[in-house]
Structure 1
Amino acid sequence: MRIAKTMMGFLLMMGFMASTTTAQAEDSLIPANMVYIGYVPSVMGLDKEAPATSGNASAAYQQRNRTPASTFNDEGPAHMVFLDPYLIDKYEVSNQNYRDFLRSTGYPAPAYWDDPRLNRPDQPVVGVSWYDAKTYCEYLSKRLPTEAEWEKAARGPHGNLYPWGNDFDPARANFGKTHEATMPVDSYREGVSYYGLHNMAGNVFEWVSDWYDPKFYGRLEPMVNPTGPAKPVWIGGTGTYVDFLTLGEKRVIRGGSWIAPETTLRAIHRFWNHPSNNSYGV
C-alpha cells in the first residue's frame, strides 16, 4: 500500500510564497516521506507485448517464472495521460505506520499480523484489503493513488519499463520468493524510480483506487486525470464461492510482490484483486 495526496492546497499556498524560489517553496511544503510529482504529460500502457522473462535467465528460472502471453493483453494500447500535480509516498506503508493507526483507532488488525516473516516494524504491512487501505488513507486525510498516478510515479517522465530504467535487473527488487519474506520499505535503493520512490517493483503489490477493466485502455483517448472505469466489470462468469478470488468485480493492484514472477515488476503490468481479499502479497 502507498498513499497519495491531492495538490490543490499545496498549489494555493505556493501562490502566497513569492519571497522564496519555487524549489524552496516545494521543499518546505512537501510532507516528510512524500514526493512531489509535477505536471508533465506521460505515457501510460505499452503497444508492444513484452517478453515473459528476460533473455539471460536460466531455463529453470524461466520455467519457474513463466507467465502466459495473454497476461499482457490489458497493458495497451499506449496513450497519453495528463495529470495535475500530486504527492505520493516515498515508501510503502510500514507495519509501524499501520500499528500507530490501529492503536489510535481500534481498527481490527490485518491478516498475517502475527506472522514472524512479515511483521517487523520496518516491513510493509500486508493482509490489507482495499477497504482497509482506503480507511487507513482517510484516517490520514489522504487517499489511494489512481492507477495513472501510480504508473507515472513508477515510470518517470521518460516512460521507463521498470522503475530504474528499461533493462531488467534481478538485484533491484524483491520478487519470486528470493528472500522468502518481504524486505524493509527503504530497501533496494538501487531500484528507486526517477522520482525517488522505493519498491515500486516487487516487495508487495499496491492497491490503487481504480476498478479493473482489462479493456479500459482500448477505449481511451488522451485523458486528463483519469480515475478508471466508472463501474466495475465482472471478470469471469460462474460466480461460485470457489471463484470468489478469481472471478467477480476487481480493483487494480500494481507493482509485483515478493512471491510474484519477474513479469509483474514491469511498471506497465496490471493485475487485480477482489477488494475484500487480504493476501500476504498485497
Structure 2
Amino acid sequence: MPGKPYLVETNEPVARAPIPRSSQRIDDHYEGMVLIPSGEFWMGAEDGEGFPRDGEGPVRKVAVKSFYIDACAVTNREFLQFVEDTGYQTEAERFGWSFVFYQFVSSGVSKRVSQVVQNAPWWWRVDGADWRHPDGPDSDIANRMDHPVVHVSWNDAMAYCNWAGKRLPTEAEWEYAARGGLERRKFAWGNELTPNGEHMCNIWQGEFPQTNDGSDGYLGTAPAKSFQPNGYGLYNVCGNVWEWCADWFSATFHVHGPRENPTGPDHGVARVTKGGSHLCHHSYCNRYRVAARSSNTPDSSTGNIGFRCVKDI
C-alpha cells in the first residue's frame, strides 16, 4: 500500500515503543544468496505505464558494485529463528494491530473491525494482526513457514539484518538484481506478462478489489521460492510481497543524483519499497514492473510487505 495510510475514525495515536537492541549473529557464509556482478544498467522507466508521482524516470545509466543478495524474500521460518534467538517483538506486535486485506479477515474478526484506510477501504486495521497472525488473531503461519514474512516494518527488517550480519539493498541494487541481466524490460523475464500463457508471478487476477480468480495459483502470498527465477536466480521479484529497500523515498532526488552506487537522499519521511505484491493489478497498482517504486513510513506494516537482504563482499 503506497504512502502513509490514513484511517477513518482515527483514535488517539498508538505509543511508539523504542526498538529493542537485537543480538547479532554474523555468518561467514552466503547460504541462500546469489552473487550479483558489478556493472552498469539502465534504471527506471519512461514507458507511460508508471505513475508520475512515483518518479520512475528519467531512465538513467547507473553503476553498481558487486554484492550478494538473498535468492528469496525472508521467510516466516527464518524470521522465527531470529525471534527465538533475540526475543524481538515487531512493531505490529507492540502496537497491537496491523493492516490486513479485507477478504482475508474471518467473519468473526471482521465484526470487530471499526477502522479502514481512507481512499483504500479494502485495507482494514485488524487488532491482533502481526507476522505470526497474518490474517488476524485467529490465523497462524503453521502452513506458511516457507512464505515471505509479512507485517514487518522497515525498522523490523533492519533489526533482522543486524542479527543476520546483512543489510537492506539500496533501490539501485534491488532493481539491478531484479532485472536479472535484462535491459529495459518491464518484468524480470521480459516484456510480456504471461508469455505463452504462463503465469510468471503472483499478482491479482480478476477485478480489483472484488474478485481474484487465483488463476496464477494463489490468492494471498505464495511460497518465497515460487515461479521461475530471473536470470540471476532471484525468485518473486515481481509480485507476491513488496520489499523494503534502504533508501529514503524521493520522487525527484535521483533526477540529478549520483549515478554510481546511489543510496538515495539523506533524509525523508518514507522508505522505498519495490516489486509490487499479490494485490497489484494493472487497473489499480501497476507496480509489479521492475522499475516501479513506492514507499511507506518506516514503522508501517501490512499483510503484503516483506523484505530480502544483501551482504557486502
Q: TM-score range by the shorter chain?
A: 0.7 to 0.9
Is 1:205 aligned to residue 205 of structure 2?
no
Assess if the C-alpha contact under 8 Å between 1:72 and 1:269 holds in 2: no
Residue 217 (structure 1) shift = 2.7
- Gaps spanning 5+ residues in structure 1: where? 1-28, 51-68, 233-248
Distance 1:199 1:168, change over 3 A: same
Give the whole-Å Cα distance in 1 for the aligned partners of 2:237 and 2:31. Answer: 18
Is 1:269 aligned to residue 269 of structure 2?
no
Aligned counterpart, 1:219: 256
Structure showing the higher helix proportion among its residues: 1
Q: Deviations over 1:138-195 (max 9, x none)?
A: 1011000000000001113332320111211271111125332101111112xx2211
Aligned counterpart, 1:257: 277
Aligned counterpart, 2:24: none
Aligned counterpart, 1:173: 201
RMSD: 1.9
Give the whole-Å Cα distance in 2 for the aligned partners of 1:48 and 1:180. Answer: 29
Residue 47 (structure 1) shift = 2.8
Assess if the C-alpha contact under 8 Å between 2:272 and 2:294 holds in 1: yes
Is 1:229 aligned to residue 257 of structure 2?
no
Give the whole-Å Cα distance in 1 for the aligned partners of 2:299 and 2:157. Answer: 11
Percent identity of the aligned residues? 35
Q: What's the TM-score, normalizing by structure 1? A: 0.72
Q: How many residues align?
A: 217
Assess if the C-alpha contact under 8 Å between 1:173 and 1:201 holds in 2: yes
Aligned counterpart, 1:131: 155
Give the whole-Å Cα distance in 1 for the aligned partners of 2:71 and 2:43. Answer: 21
Give the whole-Å Cα distance in 2 for the aligned partners of 1:200 and 1:99. Answer: 22
Assess if the C-alpha contact under 8 Å between 2:32 and 2:70 holds in 1: yes
Structure showing the higher strand proportion among its residues: 2
Give the whole-Å Cα distance in 1 for the aligned partners of 2:52 and 2:223. Answer: 29
Equivalent residue letter for 1:215: T
Assess if the C-alpha contact under 8 Å between 1:206 and 1:255 holds in 2: yes
Give the whole-Å Cα distance in 2 for the aligned partners of 1:44 and 1:183. Answer: 27
Give the whole-Å Cα distance in 2 for the aligned partners of 1:261 and 1:32. Answer: 33
- Gaps spanning 5+ residues in structure 2: where? 1-27, 93-129, 205-211, 306-313
Choose from 80, 101, 105 the match for 1:99.
80
Give the whole-Å Cα distance in 1 for the aligned partners of 2:290 and 2:88. Answer: 32
Q: Deviations over 1:189-243 (max 9, x none)?
A: 2xx221110000011000000000011232236x1110011121xxxxxxxxxxx
Residue 260 (structure 1) shift = 2.0
Aligned counterpart, 2:30: 31
Is 1:87 aligned to residue 68 of structure 2?
yes
Residue 73 (structure 1) shift = 5.1
